[in-house]
Chains A and B, each alone.
Chain A
Amino acid sequence: MTDPAATKHGPGRILIAVYGVFALAATARAGVQIATKFGDAPIAYLLSAVAAVIYCAATFALAKATVVSRKVATAAIAIELAGVIAIGAFSYAVPDDFPDATVWSHFGQGYGFVPLVLPVLGLLWLRRTR
C-alpha cells in the first residue's frame, strides 16, 4: 500500500483546489439562499446545504490524506456522485419541484457540468493513489 499522503500531492493538489472552490461556492450559495428566501424552495435549498456539507467534507478529507480520511473522502465523493446524478435526473423529470437551481440541478449545468465530472475524477484519483 502506498503512502496515504500521496492523495494530496501531484494532480491531487489541483483536484483538492477545485473541491475547495466548490466547497466555498456551495456553502456561500446555500447560506445566502437559506438566510434570505428559504420559504421559496425549501427542498432545493436544503439540498444546496447538503451539497455544501459534502463538498466541505470531501475537500478536508482529501487534504488531510490519512488512511481514515481517505475513507471519509471516498464516502463523501460517492454520495456526491449519487447526488448529482439523482438531483440531475429529478430536476429534468419534475422541474416544478426545483423552482430555483441547486449546484446539482441539471447535472451541474450552471457550473459547466464540473459537478458531474468532479466526483468521477475524485474516485479515480482515490483509486489510483490507493
Chain B
Amino acid sequence: MVYAVVLAARDKRIDWTVLGAVGIVEVGLITQLVVGIAQYAGTDRDVSGPFFIGYLIGSLIILPIGAFWALAESSRWGAGALAIACLVIPIVELRLHDLWAV
C-alpha cells in the first residue's frame, strides 16, 4: 500500500487521489500506533521501548507535514516533496520491523 502511494505520487502534480491515498496511509499509521503500543505492552520480547514507540509516534507526523509542504508548491516539485515524505514511511516500517525482531 505504501509503495503504491510512492509510485502514484512520483512525477505527478498533487491531486485529490494522491492526498486521499496519503490520508488512508495516515489512518493506517494511527492504527499501527495503537496496535503497536498494545503489543509492546503485552510482549515479553526485548524490544527497545523508547525507540519503538518513538518510531511509531514519529511516523505519524511525516505525511501531514509532507502534504502541507507539497501543497504550497503546485508543480511537479511539490509532488516530489510529497514522494520524499512517502518514501520515508517504508523506511520507518523497516526500522520498526527490525526493532520488533531483535
Contact = CB atoms under 8 A, between A and B. Distances in A.
B62 A21 contact: yes
Interface residues of B, number: 20
A41 to B, nearest CB: 15
Nearest to A35: B50
Interface string B65-76: 110011001010
Given A21-B85, A21-B88, A32-B50, A14 B62 contact: no
B2 to A, nearest CB: 15
Given A21-B84, A36-B50, A13 B61 contact: no
Interface string A1-13: 0000000011111
B62 A24 contact: yes
Given A20-B69, A21-B85, A35-B50, A13 B58 contact: no
A20 B68 CA distance: 13
19 contacts: A10-B75, A11-B77, A13-B69, A13-B77, A13-B80, A13-B81, A17-B69, A17-B84, A18-B84, A20-B69, A21-B85, A24-B58, A24-B61, A24-B62, A25-B58, A28-B54, A32-B51, A35-B50, A36-B50
